Amino acid sequence: MKNKKIIGMASLLGMLLLIMNACYYDEVLPVDKPVGDIGNVTFSADIIPIFNASCNVTGCHSGGGQKPNLTAVSAYTSLNNGGYINKTNPENSLLYQWMMGDVGTPMPPSGSDATYNAKVLKWIELGALNN
């Protein structure tokens, strides 16, 4: 009788350990949002708001901060004169590569944003116009 209780308790304990281990997660991975068709992208309506929200803050890519200067008045000139845009091969644009994390830390430092990246790439593909 005593052996049956010990075997029963051991079985119960073993099942409890299995259940607890089955519910353990090493890491929760973020789910990428589908980007879909970006459509027409303009510098003033689509790209500058990205820079304003994530890039041209104090200590980053604002006046007197890290290059390029991505403030609304200087961003276009800084990107084009600094060699950050490659119109013949948009995916090789330094701006796009930084945002993807292919060159150093992804920009913004909070993490790469698929929608931002798609808009910037589309803008460059459309000729990187100052529109």
DSSP assignment of 78-116, as one string? HHHHTT---SSSGGG-HHHHHHHTSSSS-SSTT---HHH
Phi, psi of 2, deg, nearest 5: -65, -40
pLDDT for res 27: 54
Q: Which residues contact 11 (CB under 8 A, 6 or more apart)?
A: none
Q: How many domains does the chain have?
A: 1
Q: Is residue 31 part of a domain?
A: no
pLDDT for res 94: 95
pLDDT for res 64: 79
Q: How far apart are CA 1 and CA 20, in angstroms?
A: 29
pLDDT for res 58: 73
Residue 72's domain comprises: 43-125
Q: Is residue 22 part of a domain?
A: no
Q: Is residue 75 part of a domain?
A: yes
Q: Is residue 23 part of a domain?
A: no
Q: Is residue 29 part of a domain?
A: no
pLDDT for res 16: 61
Query: What are the residue ranges in the chain where pLDDT is below 70?
Result: 1, 14-36
Question: pLDDT of 22-42, one tens digit each?
Answer: 555 555 545 555 566 778 999
Cα angle for residues 84, 113, 68 (degrees, 5° grid): 25
pLDDT for res 106: 78
Contacts 24+ apart (CB under 8 A), 71-75: 72/48, 75/43, 75/47, 75/48, 75/51
pLDDT for res 130: 96
pTM of the shown model: 0.71
Q: Is residue 38 part of a domain?
A: no
